Structure 1
């Protein structure tokens, strides 16, 4: 990629979540609260200011879609509190997507899956932490249930009451999408998806596009590394593409997901300002037909 010019989030194009237009290159806040893992070793109280600086820089770079959750917190900080501190009063075009379903007690221990009746409390907690009177998009995060109708229906009622503007679902399959769409409009599906992790989500991603539903991969860079981040040896196909474009392997992985369809949104997260710039710049990458074929072959091979 050419140097000297700062690439902004609009380079990846836009998508519409209901009536909300977002740049396809967004930001995931999951890593921001994690002690000692998203930040440099100089740590301490500077971590909080560093995270706030990253969020503000993301908005400066044109990011107007931020993914978060009330259960993204550590002993020292929470993602929602950081977002509120960094960005309120919020820009008019900023879309904050949060998710409910899982929960954690104050010690950080995971709680049993929320009941439908408990979802209102989770929505209100997100509202309080973010300092909003409504939530732009709320994803119901499924925790392995065959049916999400009762939980999604509870959120649909909160949407009717004006607490939520749009609804999405996470960690789901095609049957869950059909079930949810029979209850209320679904603007996005957020599932684990990454280059080299083939499976039923390949077809599901395409199905979402056919139905006008955004597909939002998480762990798109980390892949099988999940919360720990990318750690395995990188494949030669990815490294070759990175060398050809003068970018990192992480940028190649992000760009590949974006090129799976115009409805695919990226939400890479980082607490490192340099990595943030790289993540946003990945939205401007365009592969040759041969490069894309090699990466697609890697994906379908599962390497």
Structure 2
């Protein structure tokens, strides 16, 4: 808690997913609470539970996961740690990937499989409705109308509140919106990787949440004497914290979800919400590229 009673993540501001689902903009990505290769149980299960509980204590009310994380391990841990859930907590999950081995991801978008994914995520997470359900990848072997149509049917049945996409182009978002309302897009985006810049701009124009995965990558841009390192130093922060603060400043629809399996790292990440970059510092970061 801060001196005003405010929890740290609350300083990141609020965004309403789909126009009616308020969350603090700094969330938590629950991929890293699994084993190596996003496979199996975490090395320290008790610490993973502590991370999830601490995230909520810090004011995080958006937790992003997927049935493929583990597989199933991340969703199970979330339910174990946090159910019954606080009223304000939004759990976003994803489906449409089959896991065959550590590091292996195979998209499967057949309607009957997606329906099974939703039903099983509801069971594992102990939910009656998933607030944000994201198609983890569009399966190129299945007509988009079939994939999005099934999610829309599940939405109409009250099992999904909002539908999201992951790793898509602007054209794919537009095509998907012909079959279902799209409330969020989750693409790779960070200080060194901005190939989804046009997607971010489209999301801004259409008021669609943009959830950048792998948000803390800084690479060579964070080396001593760099712009990132210098800006971070001015704020008594780490380069990773400065990069996360930049994402929060970059767009009002940006919802970063840095993940970790350690409480100390979680607390460091959330501290970035308190960093107020100047317009000049934001402009300096804008000029950088990986």
* TM-score past 0.5 threshold: yes
Q: What secondary structure is seen at the aligned counterpart in 2 of 1:155?
A: helix
2:174 is equivalent to residue 178 of structure 1 = yes
1:234 maps to: 222
1:31 maps to: 32
Q: What secondary structure is seen at the aligned counterpart in 2 of 1:145?
A: coil
1:93 maps to: 88
Q: CA deviation at 1:109?
A: 5.1
Deviates more, 1:51-60 or 1:171-180: 171-180
Q: What secondary structure is seen at the aligned counterpart in 2 of 1:259?
A: helix
Q: 1:232 to 1:290 in 2, by over 3 A?
A: closer
Q: CA deviation at 1:6?
A: 8.2
Q: CA deviation at 1:250?
A: 1.0
2:162 is equivalent to residue 132 of structure 1 = no
1:58-73 equivalences under 5 Å are 58-73=55-70
2:77 is equivalent to residue 82 of structure 1 = yes
Q: CA deviation at 1:34?
A: 2.2
1:276 maps to: 266
Q: What secondary structure is seen at the aligned counterpart in 1 of 2:287?
A: helix
Q: How many residues align structurally? A: 281
Q: What secondary structure is seen at the aligned counterpart in 2 of 1:206?
A: helix
Contact kept, 8 Å, 2:152 with 2:180, in 1: the verdict is yes
| Partners of 1:163 and 1:108 in 2: CA distance | 30
* TM-score (normalizing by structure 2): 0.89
1:9 maps to: 9
1:1-303 equivalences under 5 Å are 8-18=8-18, 19-35=20-36, 47-73=44-70, 78-105=73-100, 110-143=105-138, 145=140, 148-199=144-195, 201-222=196-217, 234-235=222-223, 236-298=226-288, 302-303=289-290
Contact kept, 8 Å, 2:37 with 2:102, in 1: the verdict is no
Q: What secondary structure is seen at the aligned counterpart in 1 of 2:250?
A: coil
Contact kept, 8 Å, 1:7 with 1:280, in 2: the verdict is no
Q: CA deviation at 1:124?
A: 1.3
| Partners of 1:6 and 1:134 in 2: CA distance | 29
Q: 1:287 to 1:180 in 2, by over 3 A?
A: same
| Partners of 1:50 and 1:27 in 2: CA distance | 15
Q: What secondary structure is seen at the aligned counterpart in 2 of 1:165?
A: strand
Considering only aligned residues, what root-mean-square deviation do their CA atoms show, in Å?
Answer: 2.5
* TM-score (normalizing by structure 1): 0.85
